[in-house]
Copies of this chain bind each other. A is one copy, B any other.
């Protein structure tokens, strides 16, 4: 018991943050006047406002966010839940959200799942516990039923593809089918006919890319069965592809990969095997991440307007917070970026 009272005493001692009372006392006005002054509201004269602000400055007063949000019933906090900060796609979306948040006087709190579904959910809980007014989720790993439950309590916008629509949850995504189509048609335009697809995921976005790949291939080359490798045993699939090419027996001359990460692995494996890129194999990635320009050859890829998607997500979240109740789903056109990893097939 003694220790408890001591700790309170400690708190009250010297180092204590100055409160609105301290400022009021020092300035010789009421706490209400101080409150008005620091919030720049009318109700105090210009002269007293300046006086109060100066006193506040001298005391190093900084208003207590919790007390404020406690009485106002809002926190001005927005959460963003990320699957993987290491991925520049996620990072750029975040930057977009952040810029839009700052512009709207909202503070962004980052929750980071670190590629772990369990941790991701824990982080979402944390964000909610912090009292965020809405959450932008940049991940397709949160289970839909969980999403739906949370969505009933707090506005939610998902950036990316979900397995299916979830009532009460908005989404903004790029049209993966369109991006995949551009990639494959680029390869076809270069003269490739034996084109393979390499994927490392069975998540919705990946499946849409894969689906569009198959469709374009079937439509263009009706009598060829398009080769799709992965997502399981991706490493083995890459090895097998390289082996095929070395044998030259009707091997693919081009590969469209699910994303840049897979593309980078493929590039590495090809170079390790002594293949010449892009002469012996054309490669197209997806995401236009920062590695594209580090690799040699520089990677042809599909770019999504990531920052824009982030901005849109925050915009939709604000609408939700303001009271919109009908669901909204926005899709954005991706765009092929041609670099050095694609060329016409040999011969």
Chain A residues engaging chain B, CB cutoff 8 angstroms:
11, 60, 62-67, 69-70, 73, 75, 85-86, 88, 91, 94-95, 98, 107, 109-110, 112, 114, 126, 128-131, 153, 264, 267-268, 271-272, 290-291, 293-296
Residues from chain B with a CB closer than 8 A to the CB of A272 are 296
8 contacts between A and B (CB under 8 A): A67-B70, A70-B70, A85-B85, A86-B290, A95-B114, A107-B126, A110-B110, A291-B294
With contacts A66-B69, A66-B75 taken as known, whether A109 is within 8 angstroms of B109 at the C-beta atoms is yes
C-alpha gap A296/B291 in the complex (Å): 12
C-alpha gap A307/B60 in the complex (Å): 35
**How many chain copies?**
2
Residues from chain B with a CB closer than 8 A to the CB of A95 are 114
Residues from chain B with a CB closer than 8 A to the CB of A293 are 268
Closest residue of B by beta carbon distance from A269: B296
Closest residue of B by beta carbon distance from A16: B73
C-alpha gap A253/B70 in the complex (Å): 65
Assess the B98–A91 pair: CB atoms within 8 A.
Answer: no
With contacts A60-B153, A66-B69, A86-B290 taken as known, whether A130 is within 8 angstroms of B110 at the C-beta atoms is no
C-alpha gap A98/B114 in the complex (Å): 11
Residues from chain B with a CB closer than 8 A to the CB of A295 are 294-295
The residue from B75, B91, B130, B268 contacting A85, defined by CB atoms under 8 A apart: B91
How near does chain B come to A338, taking the closest CB pair, in angstroms?
A: 17
How near does chain B come to A114, taking the closest CB pair, in angstroms?
A: 7
Residues from chain B with a CB closer than 8 A to the CB of A73 are 11
Residues from chain B with a CB closer than 8 A to the CB of A294 are 264, 268, 291, 294-295
8 additional A-B pairs beyond A267-B296, A272-B296, beta carbons within 8 Å, are A62-B129, A65-B131, A66-B69, A66-B70, A86-B290, A98-B112, A109-B110, A110-B110
